[in-house]
Amino acid sequence: MEAQKYAFKMKSSTTTTLKDDSLCLSKNLVPYTLQFLLPIALLPIVLLCIYFYPLFLTKSQTNELHYGTISSPPPPPYPVNNKIKAENNSCDYFNGKWIHDKSGPLYNGTTCGTIKEGQNCMTNGRPDSNYLYYRWKPNECNLPRFEPNTFLQLSKNKHIAFIGDSLARNQFESLLCMLSTVSKPKPVHHKGSHWWHFASHNATISDYWSPFLVQGDERSKSGPSFNTMHLDRVNERWLKDMDGMDLIFLSFGNWFNVPSIYYENGLVLGCLNCSSFGLNYTDIGFYVPLRKALRTSLNAIVERKRAKGKEISVIVRTFSPTHFDGDWDKAGTCSKTEPYGNGEKKVGEMESEIRRIQIEEVESAKAKANEFGGIRFEVLDVTELALLRPDGHPGAYMNPFPFANGVSEHVQNDCVHWCLPGPIDTWNEIFLEMMKWDWKGQPRSEE
C-alpha cells in the first residue's frame, strides 16, 4: 500500500497596525505564547500518525513488522483464474489457449518403446490424428518447444523422481519418450519404482507409485472396496529414497474421490462414502484428508532438508480434470475430437477446490522452507490447460482396435489419462521452463 502524502499549508495572516500603545505588551507576548501552545496543539496529530504508521508501509514492510522475518503468515486463497507463475519467471505459462501447430509431436507410438499400451492411442487404432497438432499458447508469452538436450544438460548428475498416481506415470512416460529422441536410457532395477538412467548425462528419472503420497492401501477387487490412508505417515516407498533425490515431482488427487477410511495417530479420523459398507464412521469428505496428506508429505521434505542440508526442488502438479460424458463407472465416454475454446468450458467446483488446496499447501511449505533456504517449492498448474483438451484422452482406444468386431453395447473408455504423444507433453514443456531457473532466480547454466 503506497503511503499517502499529506501536505500541510500554513496561511500567513495580515495584522492591522495597532495604534493603541496598550496593545504593545500583548503584541510582544504573542510569539512566546505561540511557541508554548503550538506543540500542544500538534500533539494529537503526532499521535495519530504514530497510530496509523503501519497503514503507510508497503506490503513487505508490514509483513516484516508483524511477522519479523515473515516466518509463516497464513496462505491466501487462490481462485481458479489466479495467475500462478513459475517461480522467478516473468511468464505466466498457465493461462492461455490451444492453437493449431502443424509441426506435430517429437515422437510417436512406434519410435518410443516405453509407452504403456493403454496410452498408445494411434497404435491402438485411433482413426483421427488432429489432436496431435495443437500447442499451448500462453496469453503473455510463448512456450518454447521442448528441447531434450537442454533438459538432459540441466539434469546432469541428478535424480528426478515422479511420485504419485497413474498420471504421474503418464507424465513420466511422456518425458522418457521426449528425451529418448536424443539419448536412449536404460532401465535400472529398483524395488518399488521404475528407474531409467541416461548414461550420456548421468541422469536418472524415476517413477514411484504412491497415489495418496502417504501410507495406505488402495481398494481392490480381491480385497476391501475402499481405500485406507494414514494421513500422518509418509509412504516409505519413496521416503526411504528421498536423500538421493534432487527434484521431487508430486502428482496426486484422483484416488481421493473414492470410498476411503482415514486414520490419524492410529485412530479413525473419518471416512468418505463408507455407510454403504456398514461402517459407522463420520463422513468427512475428502478435501481435509487431501490437504493433510499433502501437508504431511511437504513437511517431511522440509524436515529432511533441515536435517541433511541438501538442496532440493519440489514441484506439485495441480488437479487434472477428467472428461467423461457421464459417470466413469457407468460406460461414460470422451468422444470429442477438438479442444474447447476459451470460455466454452469452466473448471468445476471440485477441481477448483482441489487446486486451491494444493496451491495453498505449497505456499505454506514455501514459507517454512524460507527459514533456512535450500528448498524450492513450485506449482505446475495444469488444471485450466488440461480442462480444455477433452480430445486428448485414449477413450475407447485404451485397448487395441476396440471396434474391430463392430460397435458393442458397452465399450470401456479412459477419459482420465492422456494419449502419448498428446497434450500431456505440454506439461513437460512447462516443466523444462521451470528447470531453467535456479533457487536464486537466475537462469541455470547447462554446463
Residues with a known catalytic role: 166, 414, 417
Angle at Cα 334 formed by Cα 291 and Cα 80, nearest 5°? Answer: 35
N-to-C CA span, the chain: 42
Write phi, then psi, for 171 (nearest 5 degrees): -70, -40
The CA distance from 215 to 236, in Å, is 7
Of residues 208, 190, 312, the one with CA closest to residue 250: 208
Residue 153 to residue 134: CA distance in whole angstroms = 27
- Give the H/E segment covering residue 160: strand 159-164
C-alpha cell at 231: 494421513
CA distance 109 to 420: 7
What region, left, alpha or beta, does residue 29 occupy, with left being phi > 0 and alpha being psi -120 to 50 degrees? Answer: alpha
Label residue 98 left, alpha or beta by phi (over 0 means left) and psi (-120 to 50 means alpha): beta
Torsion of CA 32, 33, 34, 40, to 10 degrees: 120
Gyration radius from the chain CA atoms: 30
Check if the beta carbon of residue 92 is closer than 8 Å to that of residue 373. no
| Residue 58 vs residues 55, 137, 312: alpha-carbon distances, Å | 8, 34, 31
**What residue type is assigned to position 119 of the chain?**
Q
Calculated CA dihedral for residues 249, 314, 189, 231, nearest 10 degrees: -80
Strand, helix or coil for residue 294: helix
Residue pair 84/92 in contact by the 8 Å Cβ criterion: yes
Q: Tell me the one-letter amino acid at 441.
A: G
- 8 three-state secondary structure: coil
